[in-house]
Structures are given as structure tokens and as C-alpha cells.
Chains A and B, each alone.
Chain A
Amino acid sequence: MTGRTNRKIKLDFWFFVKAFVLIALCLFIIYPFYTILTKSIFSSKVEGVTLYNFNRFFTKPYYYRTLLRSLVICSLTTLFSCIVGVFVAYVMTRFNIPGKTFLHVLIILSLMSPPFIGAYSWIILLGRNGIVARAFSAIGLTAPTIYGRNGIIFVFTLHLFPYVYLYTSGAMNSIDASLEEAAENLGMNKLRRIWTITLPVVLPSILAGCIMVFMTCLADFGTPMLLGEGYTVLPVLVYNEYMSESATDPYMASTLSVIIVACSMLMLAFQKFVVDKKNYTMSTLRPPQETKLTGAKRFFASLPVFVIIFLALLPQIVVVCQSFVERSFSGMVQGINLNNYRAILSRLGSNIFNTYFFSVIAIIFIVIIGILVSYVLVRKKGKAASVIDTLIMFPYVIPGSVLGIGLIVAFNKPPVVLVGTAAIMIISYIVRKLPYTVRSGSAFLYQMDPSVEEASINLGVSPMKTFFTMTARMMLPGVMSGAVLSWITCINELSSSIMLYSGKTSTIAVAIYQEVVRMSDGTAGALATILSVSTVVSLLLVFRLTKGKVKVV
């Protein structure tokens, strides 16, 4: 190997890993999206390549209004989430709020719950036939409606503010106390200190949280579908265009998909080129001090936090209660029992089985691919690795429903017909949920010193054996904590499942959606309780795995 001839590609194990991952990504991300892209420039009404559908979108109010509405919903939700999230983060990190650690767990829990359960529960409370609504009308008042724009924003905010909270409190905890002390020493009063030092320093983290809120909001399908009534947003329109019996138009659905993806990409570009540039690295020698409040001050600081967290968790509580209430067809309470559970076990047993079966298979693939890909990204840097890095994060900008449509249009004709099979569900789970595991695994590996691997090789163990017996093993905590998040989002997955399921491959999330539409609150509640319990148990597992230092975002 003397001289400079050592330029050829090594046909080793890692070459095959890279090749396999690249091919899989091309097949299940690039190809479906490419199909959507090409479909978007055709139309059933015009021959040949045309911008007809784009033109129609931007000129017909029926279409462009949904984009405007989506943007309104996303912007306002982001604004409110930002206010609530930053407030809760500030109070939680700076004051002695009772039960702080427990509250932190509850906030993570509310974020991890299936998104549409919030919408469903609030319908039970404030909907047309809701408990609270009826209580209000009994005393002659009208309860605020949960339907329409304001309801969607309300439910979204309660569900998504944890993103801002998690990012911001992470940053607030890493500000060195001396920074604020220095400002104080230089003669700044408390409010101006917060305004001139604390806020600017944590601003990049706040923005990062806001972008997560905006993107999730933009992609989410369940909440606006259940609450929107006439107020149709873009993802709902995509679903309608593609799925509803009346107006099936795959070309228009593709055009809409392209527009959604373009919006998320703009957001991501904003993050990459504006927000990330502003990030500060700080060495925290002394973590910030907690101010000890007493008596009334402590009470009034804690109260809003408690109220917010209570409201965020209320849907879960409602759902669990609802699952034990048996109702007649007309909605009258018949008794408190387990009949709802009996009903779903006999009628929807296969949904329950499918959910866990698909998720288990997906998670096995996710863990294996996650370990290998994390290793490639961190230790085998190069052109192939950076392409994989970009592609693997792509599902962040593609809403589930869009990926669902992409997979359908890509694999609904020979040679490969996957539509309607379990395989296509599992593939969509793997592709969409892999980023959690890869991010967590590679972050963990970055902190692992490569000299540990070198020490093993130096002591006579081959690189391959070192990887499997040493490195992979040591990566496991990082990979597993990511994998649990992948798992939680797999079992709760709705937006791509609803596009891809067939009679035989339906899941719990899809069934809840259908039960809610059918106004069958009890069975929907029982199904949702199963998901919630699974989520809580999985989260507790991840807390144990990471000793409480879970990184959800």
C-alpha cells in the first residue's frame, strides 16, 4: 500500500451497508416522492406536462384557502406554543415549583400521546354533545365551541407547546449562572437582564422548538380532520382529494403534496440558514440557581404551570374515563364496566394485533439499521455518508399522508405491488420513524471516544468483531432510547396508516379515527387507553434506560 495508489473503494462490510441503505432510501423515499412530483405536473383534464393543477390551486379559493388556513393555524399555534412553552420553561427552571421532575415527565408524556386523541377528548368535553357543553347549557350558558379554527389552534397549542418547553428549558439549564450575574454586576435590573441576556442567548433554542411546532402542525392530519368541520386545511384536503369517494384525483393530491413539502422545506431551510447560524456554544461551569419562593409567591408561580399541564393531560384522563363508560346507541350512559374493552377485543382484535406486530417488526429493522447508519454517519464520514444523512432526515419534511400517497402511487402497479400489504405499512413506519433512532444513536456515538474501539483493535480483536462485540454494545443505550421514541410514534401513527391501510392491515390509530367519526366514544376511548398505557410504559422504560436524561427532541 505504498505510494498514492490507495484510492479504490474498499469492498468491505461498510461498503455493503452504505450501498444497502442508499438503495433502500432511493426506493422508499426518493422514488415515491419522485412519482408524486411527476404526477403533480399532469392532470386528468389536460394532455401532457402541465402546470394546470398548480394554476388551479393558486386561482381557486377552494384550494388556496386551505393553504392560507394551514399557514394561519401553524403561525398562531406556533405563537401561542412559544408563549406557553417559554413561560413554563422559565418558571420551571428558575423557581422551586413543587414536583418539578414529575411535572417534566408529564409534559413529555402529553407530547408523546397520539395527537388526535387531544382533538377527540375535547370533542367529548366541548363538542356538540359534550359533557362541559351540556353542563353549560343546563345553566343557560353557551360553552365556547371546540370546532373550527380556534378549536384546532387550542388543541394544537396544548399538544405541541412541550416542544418549545423542552428546547427552551434545555438551553436555560445550560446558561452559566455567571452570565446573568455579570449582567447584574454591570447594573442591569432583573427584567432588563432577562430581556438583554437570557432571552437572546436561548433564542436559537426557542426558535428550534417553534420550528418543530410549525412543521408538526403543518403535517398533522388527525386534529384538523376531527375538529375542522368546514374549516379545511391542506393535509385534510390532500386526504379528501385522494381518499373520498366523491372526488378522487391523484394528480391534484400530488400537486397538494408537493405544495406541503415545499412549505416544510422552506421552514427547514430557515432553520438551517438562519437559526443554526446563531447558535452559541457555552461552557456551563455553574448551572443557574433556582430562586426559592415561599408562600403566596410560590403558589402564584406554580398555579399557571399546574393549570397548563392539567389541560395538556386532560385528554388522556378523559379518554381513560370514557373507556369504562358503556353507552347506548343514542349516547345514554348504561353503566360503568369493561364492555367497551370486550367489544374492541372481539371486533377489533386484529387492529390491536396489527399495531403491535407491525411496530415490533419495524422496530427490529429500525434498531439494526439505526446502529449501522449511526456508525456510518459518525465514523465512516464521506460522500455516501452525507447523502445518507440528508436522505434519512427527509421524512421530517414529508408529512405522513404525503409519504403514504407516494408509496401508493409508487407501488400500486407491477412489477412491485405492495399496496394493501402489511409490508407497505411496515416500510412506511421504518422510513418515517428511523430518524429518531439515528439521531439519538449518532449523538451518543459522537460522545464516545474512538480510542476505545482502537484499544480493542490494538489488543488483537479484528475491526468487525470489535464493532459487534464492543461498539454496537456500547451504542445500545443511545440507540435504544431513540428506538423507544420510534416505537411510541409507530404505535400512535395515523397520518400514513390512514392512507395505506386495507381491511386486513388496519391499526388501532385508524380504528380510533373511524370510531370517533362514528361517534362511538366508548370503544374509541378503550382503544386510545390501550395506546396511552403502552406509551406511558414505553416512556417509563426510556426514563430508566437514560436515567431520566431523555432527549425527546
Chain B
Amino acid sequence: MSNEVIIKNAVKRYGDFTALHDVSLTIREGEFFTLLGPSGCGKTTLLRMIAGFNSIEGGDFYFGEKRINDVPAHKRDIGMVFQNYAIFPHLTVEENVAYGLKARGVGKAETAKRVAEALELVQILPLAKRKPSELSGGQQQRVALARAFVIEPGVLLMDEPLSNLDAKLRVQMRSIIKKLQRRLGITTIYVTHDQEEALAISDRIAVMNQGNIMQIGTPREIYAKPENPFVAGFIGVSNFLSCEVVSCAGGEAAVSIRGEAAVSIRGEADVRVPVRRSYTGKAQISARPEQLFFSETGMPGKVLFSTFLGDFIEYEVELDDGQTLVINEYTKDTNAVHELGERVHIRFDAARISLYDENGEVLSK
């Protein structure tokens, strides 16, 4: 049986509230797949539907060819790591990890061997006889991990497993999880609201909002080419600029950035953005702070605020039409420091920014 997870048209309702609208996904075998989104976006709901803890109001869930909608949770053969670890408080570390093997009727000798191996892999073998109350958060997390993968499940689910750890430990555990997943080659579905964590750990990410999937792609694709303003705003920092596509020809859109003050860089249509389809009318540009730079010419404005952050300086600039932008200037590139109130001009690389039409549909290539 292949360990692909296929979700077709999943729907979840709580009374009149629809938590999940018609979500379809395919998670490839051995893939580290992340469901990313703000709280309430439906990511945990979807994960719990896969695990069998939430009822399914519509759609089909498959593991390989097997439809699992009607398989009870305890027979789905899925490992799960819970947000608060859900370590059984009355059992030792060893007994916690052995619990799932016992349910599967694995023999004593075999159990002992596999538990020891699992504990070794997460580097807590010396703690085998301890009670959970004697463990730190990070150690409990490792027990939860070992307990989930020791049963060699077809799929491993993780529900915000790092959210209860401090920042340093989180980074450390994140690489342990990633390496372990690579080594075991286990299909993994990971839920988080932390975009940095998602970018660091995933093979592919599904960005979710209000019960819909906004974009599916590799971390690079999602960061560099957000398909809609929501993804652009949720992943990393983005500047949004209202603009207008004046004309469209030869796969390039001529964009004019004008507000009431008719700010433009050069003449009427000055920026040419490579686009995937023809469009004219109101539009929106999103640009990362590092994709903007100070220049002799460009959009005029003045420096409102600056924050020194070590490797770069973050400037807040108010354009003459009233829109504000965040620009990062790297200290390794320049020694110049812009004073508050200084008149500046700002430009960007048209090939790297994202352009959206009035409905938030992506235009740029």
C-alpha cells in the first residue's frame, strides 16, 4: 500500500459555521507536508479529520487506494504528536513509547528492542525509566515523537508540536524532527501557524485561510511567488501598493503607480511587469522589504522611522501619495544612513515583485 494521502473535497461544519470549504490535497509518499495558517483557518480541523477525531461532513479521505472515512480512529494506523504532547502521566517514558506496540500485540522482546531504538533516535534512552513529571518540555516532546513513530505508522501527524517550547529549543527540535523524518522516510503532515517554522521544515506547504487553501507549493515558491495578497501578507513581510495596469502587451503589463497625488516614476507607464495573462485596470503590487531599494529616481517620499537591527536597517517611508512602505537596507551593502524626514526615492525590480488584479488573483509570472 502506498502511503500517499489524498483528500478530495473535504467539508467540515460546526452547526451553521463551515470550518472547511471543499478542500482537496494530495500528500505524496515520504513527503514532509505542512498545513500553515492563522488560528481558526481550519488546519487543525483538517488534521483531526485525517486522524479520525473529527467527523467528516463531506468529501473523501484516502490512504493510497484505501478510503478511510469510515475507519475508526484507533484502526487508522496513523502516528500523531499532540500540541501538548499528551504523555500518559501514570506511565514511565518506556511504557509510554511501548503503549502503541502493546495495542498491536507486539511481543515483549520485540517491543523492548523497538522502544530502545526509538528512544535512542530521539536521544533520551537514559531517561527510559523516568515518569513524565520528571521531564522537561523538550524531553516530553521527544517522548511524544518516539511514541508516535515507534509503531511505524503509514502517516505521521503533528499538531503544532513545537508551540509550547521556548525559542531556542524550538529551532533545535525542528531540525531533529526534520532529520528524523528524512531518515525514516515517513509521510508527515505538520500543522503550524509559525511561517518561519513552516519554511524551515517543509517539503511543501499548504497555506490556509478561513477554511480554504490559498496556495500549495514549496517554501521557495510560496515565499518568492505568493499567488494572492493573503499569502504575500502572511508569509514574511510584504508591502502592498495600489496601482493600475494601463496596458498589456507581449507578456508585459505597463503599470502606473498613482494615488491622488499621481506619483509615478517616469512618465505614465513606467514599470513593466512580466505577466501570465492579459489584464487592464486596478491592481495591487506586493514587494518584500528587501526587494525595494533607495535610488536617485523612483517613487518620491520621506523617511518616517528607522530601526537599526544589526545586519540591516529597516526604514519606514511615506510616499507622497500617503502609502507607507517598509524597506530593508543591508549594512554590508552601504554605510549610508537615511535621516528621519529625509526626501528619498524608491524603486524595485519589476521581475521579482508580485502583481495581483482587482480580485486578488495573481498576474505576475
Contacts and interface: CB of A to CB of B under 8 A. Distances in A.
B88 A470 contact: yes
A462 B51 CA distance: 14
Given A457-B73, A458-B78, A459-B151, A2 B58 contact: yes
B86 A451 contact: yes
B69 A460 contact: no
A388 to B, nearest CB: 22
A69 to B, nearest CB: 52
B88 A456 contact: yes
A369 to B, nearest CB: 23
Main secondary structure of the interface of B (DSSP, over half): loop
B82 interface: yes
A134 B300 CA distance: 104
Q: Which range holds the interface residue count of chain A?
A: 20 to 34
Interface stretch (B99-107, B179-187, B199-207, B247-255): B99-107
Contacts of B51: 454, 458
Interface string A4-34: 1010000000000000000000000000000
B90 interface: yes
Contacts of B73: 454, 457-458, 463
A457 B74 contact: yes
B82 A455 contact: yes
Given A1-B69, A455-B80, A460 B86 contact: no
Given A1-B69, A460-B151, A454 B88 contact: no
A6 B55 contact: yes
Interface in A443-467: 449, 451-452, 454-463, 466
A451 B69 contact: no
A1 B70 contact: yes
B162 to A, nearest CB: 16
B77 A460 contact: yes
A473 interface: yes
A451 B53 CA distance: 10
Nearest to B60: A2
Contact of A454 (B75, B82, B99): B82
A452 to B, nearest CB: 5
B82 A451 contact: yes
Nearest to B98: A459
Contacts of A473: 90
Nearest to A474: B90
A460 B75 contact: yes
Given A2-B58, A2-B60, A454-B53, A460 B103 contact: yes
B89 interface: yes
B88 A452 contact: yes
Contacts of B87: 452
Nearest to A454: B53
Contacts of A463: 72-74
A3 interface: yes
B83 interface: yes
Nearest to A453: B86
Interface of B: 13, 51-53, 55-60, 69-70, 72-80, 82-84, 86-90, 99-100, 103-104, 147, 151
16 contacts: A1-B55, A3-B58, A449-B86, A451-B83, A454-B53, A454-B82, A454-B86, A455-B147, A456-B88, A457-B53, A457-B74, A458-B74, A458-B80, A460-B104, A461-B99, A463-B74
Q: Which 8 residue pairs across A and B have the least CB separation, nearest first?
A: A459-B100, A460-B103, A455-B86, A451-B86, A451-B82, A458-B80, A461-B103, A452-B86
